[in-house]
Amino acid sequence: MAITDEPLSAAQIRDAEDWTMMTVPESDLMDRAAVEVAGECLRLLESREAGVEGAAVVVLAGSGNNGGDALLAGALLAEAGALVRVVPCTDRLHERGAARLSAAGGVRTEASAGPVLVAGADLIIDGIVGLGGRPGLREPALSLVPLIPRSVPVVSVDLPSGLEADSPTADAPHVRATSTVTFTAPKRCLLEQPAAAAAGNVVIADVGIDLGWRSA
């Protein structure tokens, strides 16, 4: 079984990932995640009159695998004709994801360019922090996220950055997503209010995580 509607904790998800990666390379799991995130982005972009070609996509990327998933999804959107720009939200980016996006024609910018880019975006991918994130955001994301126009669709990778996976609270600064593409199982923050209000439409994506560890 690779997907469930049963909510799982961050620790349970990590156990399942560790179990799966005994036989499946992490890069394969990330590539599958990127396909799912890009698919939701394409669905939203295709609903606009101008379509995907030339759409201004901004990737807000942290340094972890969540940021890597977002960068890899950005590469797929660039290949589909979108104009993809990356705003780093940490000092470094996921190396393979950044290289893949660059090869596809995406452009890495400076954090200082973030306010202008998000204001003019047609879609934003939130890959700032992931499953292990604590409540709240750090600079530059702390200052940048409030500048995202309400009219711009945001797709969060796994959970909206600034929320804690295992908590329904939403007191700290966080991303408000149009859609959240989460992997394998829902997390508590995506199901329980008030945090769930920030998740938007939740898509549970099958990336091939083996849940057999629970009966092993």
133 marked among binding-site residues: yes
Give the domain ranges of the chain: 10-17+25-208
pTM: 0.96
Q: Which fold has domain 10-17+25-208?
A: Rossmann fold (3.40.50)
According to the annotation, is 54 in a ligand binding site?
no
65 has binding-site annotation: yes
Question: Does the annotation place 126 within a ligand binding site?
Answer: yes
Q: Is 130 annotated as a binding residue?
A: yes
- Does the annotation place 171 within a ligand binding site? no
Asked whether residue 92 is marked as a ligand-binding residue, the answer is no
Q: Residue type for 197, please?
A: A
105 marked ligand binding residue: no
- The Cα–Cα gap between 180 and 198 comes to 9
| Residue 134 known to bind ligand | yes
Q: 132 a known binding residue? A: yes
Instruction: Tell me the CA end-to-end span of the chain in Å, nearest whole number.
Output: 13
3-class SS letters over the chain: CCCCCCCCCHHHHHHHHHHHCCCCCHHHHHHHHHHHHHHHHHHHHHCCCCCCCCCEEEEEECCCHHHHHHHHHHHHHHHCCCEEEEEECCCCCCHHHHHHHHHCCCEECCHHHHHHHHHCCCEEEEECCCCCCCCCCCCCHHHHHHHCCCCCCEEEECCCECECCCCCCCCCCCCCCCEEEEECCCCHHHHCCCHHHHCCEEEEECCCCCHHHHHC
pLDDT in single tens digits along all 216 residues of the chain: 467 888 999 999 999 999 999 999 999 999 999 999 999 999 999 988 888 999 999 999 999 999 999 999 999 999 999 999 999 999 999 999 999 999 999 999 999 999 999 999 999 999 999 888 889 999 999 999 999 999 999 999 999 999 999 999 999 999 999 999 999 999 999 999 999 999 999 999 999 998 875 544
Q: Quick check: 174 and 161 in contact, CB under 8 A?
A: yes
| Distant-in-sequence, close-in-space partners of 116: CB < 8 Å, separation ≥ 6 | none
Determine whether the annotation assigns residue 210 to a binding site. no
